[in-house]
Structure 1
Amino acid sequence: MSKATVSASQSAGAEIHNGVDHSEPTGHGNSPAAWTCVIIMLIGALIAAIAFVIANTSIFIAGLVVMLVGLLAGLVMRKAGYGVGGSKLKNSGH
């Protein structure tokens, strides 16, 4: 490993690194819409996985349908203002 020091030309608070602008936080989907979508889809994946192991096609398809419902629930909640930066999540000043 090299013990070379960082050159003075690099600033400590650089906003662009390797051609990518890091001035805006990316966010990680921490919203009620995202959590609802993920939880419902995980339940659907669990149903589908169990059905796959017991070789039951109808229950497997039901698990896939539950995953689709989770996706739709997340989209509807995002449109209703519960997504990242949504109108229902704005701080009211309290």
Structure 2
Amino acid sequence: MSKTTVSASNAPATEASHGDAIGHGNSPAAWTCVIVMLVGALVCAIAFVIASTPIFIGGAVVMVIGLLAGWAMRKAGYGVGGSKLKNAGH
């Protein structure tokens, strides 16, 4: 293992400058993903409190479905900068 240290001047620049738009994910794909995953997390939390393993697993499955739905919507053009959300010039 190397004993070298990385100074701040040699560190890779990974932070965005203040002028760059950081993009908060305001898109139908992101909102759908988050809302479905929140419902799944709520189901998991309720199942944890009532000690029900099948319901807990069901909530986890709902969270995975939310992740896949967001990914599919992004691929379909509903993500940030997607083809379905571009302004038509009106």
Task: Kindly provide the amino acid, as one letter, of the partner of residue 64 in structure 2.
Answer: L
Corresponding residue for 1:32?
28
Report percent identity of matched pairs.
Answer: 74
Alignment of 1:1-94 (within 5 A): 20-94=16-90
1:20 shift after superposition: 4.5
| Counterpart-to-counterpart distance in 2, 1:21 and 1:45 | 34
Q: What count of residue pairs does the alignment treat as equivalent? A: 76
1:93 shift after superposition: 1.6
Task: Kindly provide the amino acid, as one letter, of the partner of residue 68 in structure 1.
Answer: V
> Which structure features the higher share of strand residues?
1
TM-score, normalised via structure 2 length? 0.80
1:14-53 CA distance string (max 9 Å, x none)? xxxxx74333200100000000000000000000000000
1:21 is paired with a residue whose SS is: coil
Bigger RCO (CA 8 Å, 6+ sep): 2
Corresponding residue for 1:13?
none
Q: Please, what is the CA RMSD of the aligned residues?
A: 1.2
| Counterpart-to-counterpart distance in 1, 2:81 and 2:71 | 14
Unaligned runs of 5+ residues in structure 2 are 1-14
1:89 is paired with a residue whose SS is: coil
Unaligned runs of 5+ residues in structure 1 are 1-18
Structure 1: 4+ residue segments shifted above 4 A: none
